[in-house]
Amino acid sequence: MKIASLTIISAAMAALAAQAELPAPPQEPVTFETAPAACAVEEFTIYFERGVTRLGDQAEAVLDAVAADSTQCEYFRIEVAGHADATGPEDVNQRVSEDRAEAVMAALEARRISAEQIGVMPKGEASAYAANGLVEPLNRKATVRLVPVSANSRDS
């Protein structure tokens, strides 16, 4: 008897559901605008061979990414820091780090990033040593930092 009652109730519920009017589907697809991503500091690294200051293929790909990301936030300051390892005289390493930073700056300008947005900081061999005191070969690099600037600092 219980099974028959459940079967009748189930059939009645199915009949009611079939007769219920469902709202018509929307005519146009519903789209939602995505909120813009919050601006955050981003850092990119370009590595160089020992003594080399010209940009290679890997650097070009990184700089393309920098240029693309720099358009995602309305107000960016771009910091370019050139680095060198500690092999060789300190004055030579300083010049190498300057040349690396300037090469990156020129490549950013070629990608239509205003020189007014770019700050260049040659670091020389300042960060060329690891915590254990050994020479850090991966210090042969340039770093590019995209820094969002607040509205207050734009006015100054």
Nearest alpha carbon to residue 145 among 104, 111, 112? 104
User: Can you tell me the distance from the alpha carbon of 90 to that of 34, in angstroms, rounded to the nearest whole number?
Assistant: 50
Q: Which of 34, 60, 31 is nearest to 47 (CA)?
A: 60
CA distances from 27 to 21, 23, 24, 30, 33 (A): 17, 12, 8, 9, 18
Residue 151 included in any domain: yes
How many domains is the chain built from?
A: 1
* Residue 115, domain member (yes or no): yes
Residue 134 to residue 129: CA distance in whole angstroms = 5
76-85 confidence digits (pLDDT tens) = 789 999 998 8
Alpha helices in the chain (DSSP H): 2-19, 57-70, 90-110, 151-155
Domain that holds residue 126: 42-155
Please indicate, yes or no, if residue 37 is contained in any of the structural domains: no
Q: Which amino acid is at 148?
A: P
For 86-125, the pLDDT digits (tens) are 888 889 989 999 999 999 999 999 999 888 888 899 888 8
In a domain, 17, yes or no: no
119 within a domain of the structure (yes/no): yes
Q: Tell me, yes or no, whether 144 lies in a domain.
A: yes
Residue 74 lies in a domain: yes
Please provide the average confidence, as pLDDT, over all residues in the chain.
77
Q: Decide: 146 and 41 in contact? Cβ < 8 Å.
A: yes
CATH classification of the domain holding 50: 3.30.1330.60
